[in-house]
Amino acid sequence: SAAAGGEDCLWYVDRNGSWHPGFDCDFFTFCCGTCHQRYCCRDPLRLLTERQQRHCLAFSPKTIAGIASAVVLFIAIVTTIVCCFMCSCCYLYQRRHHLRTPLQ
C-alpha cells in the first residue's frame, strides 16, 4: 500500500543488542532500513512498513529463544512434579501414601 509519508520508526534492537527508542519521520519521509538499523529517508522503495517493523520484533532470535526456554522449563517442572507423585522413591510419593495408611 502507498504511504503518504510521516511514517514512524518503532523501537528496535541493533545487532549489538543496544536498544533504540522509536522516532517520527518528517512529512514526506519514510522509515527505512532493516530490523537492526532504522533511519528516515525520502525513497518510498526503501520503506520499512510498520507491519514489517513489528514482524522484526515478534520473530527475533532472542524472542524465539526466550519462548522456547520458557516452554522447556514449564515441561520440565510439570514432568518433575508428576514423577515425584508416581515414583516410590520420592518424598512426595511416600508422604502421600503414608497419609493413606491407617495408624497402627
Q: Please report how many Cα atoms fall inside a 13 Å half-sphere around the Cα of residue 81, on the Cβ side.
A: 6
Using one digit for the tens of pLDDT, what is the confidence trace for 5-42?
456 899 888 888 888 999 999 888 999 999 889 999 99
Using one digit for the tens of pLDDT, what is the confidence trace for 26-85?
888 999 999 889 999 998 888 888 888 888 877 667 778 888 999 999 999 998 888 877
Secondary structure class of 8 (helix, strand, coil): strand
Q: Grid coordinates standing for 88?
A: 516410590
CA-CA distance, 31 to 5, in Å (whole number)? 9
More confidently predicted of 43 and 4: 43
Angle at 64 between CA 63 and CA 67, to 5 degrees: 85
Asked if 7 and 31 count as a contact pair (C-beta separation under 8 A), the reply is yes
Using the predicted structure, report yes or no on whether residue 1 has a pLDDT greater than 50.
no
